[in-house]
């Protein structure tokens, strides 16, 4: 008589960079809009918003968080909007600048970022570094929490 085998645990979700998860959810959302699949349209929209709220930069001058422009995004680009709250030399806030961040695929570097807006205090370099790092961070879907979370290596 064969020995019964133990049930195997479900495979762990495969970590993917934020930019890939965003791109697939944006395209799935747009497909649902076209096919009038309102249930999944809402689910994909909620996932896109959750990534923006919980996993993209917020604070440290990016005080209004990051907004994802679904309408301007396409299979070959993701468009983000961010406002940066600048400080003067005395540590007082002294104004805001708005920036469009366009993420495009690159054969050599996976992604390339273009930062629009006024380059007050060389802010574009800071935004490029900050968003490049955030967009490459691996995330996974967590069924228990019904949300994307950062994947932490052991």
Pair 121, 86: CB distance under 8 Å: yes
Facing residues of 62 across strands? 59
Token look-up 């689910």 returns 43
Token look-up 């805001």 returns 96
Report pLDDT digits (tens) over 67-121. 999 999 999 999 999 999 999 889 898 999 999 999 999 999 999 999 999 999 9
DSSP for residue 128: H
pTM reported for the whole predicted model: 0.88
Token look-up 């920036």 returns 99
User: pLDDT band for position 154 (50/70/90)?
Assistant: very low
Closest CA to 115 of 95, 96, 132, 137: 132
Instruction: State how far the alpha carbon of 132 is from the alpha carbons of 14, 19, 30, 115, 144, in Å.
Output: 21, 9, 25, 11, 29
Percent of the chain surpassing pLDDT 70: 91
Domain boundaries, the chain: 16-150
Closest CA to 41 of 52, 28, 51: 28
Q: How many C-beta neighbours within 10 Å does residue 147 have?
A: 16
Q: How many residues does the chain have?
A: 154
Facing residues of 95 across strands? 86
Does residue 2 carry a pLDDT above 90? Answer: no
d(CA 10, CA 24): 23
Closest CA to 136 of 75, 67, 55, 73: 55
């Amino acid at each position: 008589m064969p020995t019964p085998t133990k049930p195997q645990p479900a495979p762990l979700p495969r970590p993917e960079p934020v930019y890939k998860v965003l791109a697939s959810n944006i395209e799935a959302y747009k497909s649902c809009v076209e096919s009038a699949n309102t249930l999944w349209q809402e689910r994909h929209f909620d996932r896109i918003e959750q990534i923006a709220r919980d996993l993209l930069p917020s604070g440290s001058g990016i005080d209004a968080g990051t907004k994802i422009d679904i309408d301007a995004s396409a299979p070959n680009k993701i468009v983000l909007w961010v406002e940066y709250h600048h400080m003067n030399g005395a540590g007082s806030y002294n104004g805001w600048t708005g920036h469009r961040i366009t993420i495009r695929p690159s054969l050599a570097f996976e992604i390339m970022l273009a930062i629009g807006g006024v380059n007050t205090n060389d802010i574009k370099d800071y935004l490029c570094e900050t968003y490049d790092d955030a967009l490459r961070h691996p995330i996974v879907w967590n069924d228990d929490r019904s949300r994307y979370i950062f994947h932490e290596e052991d």
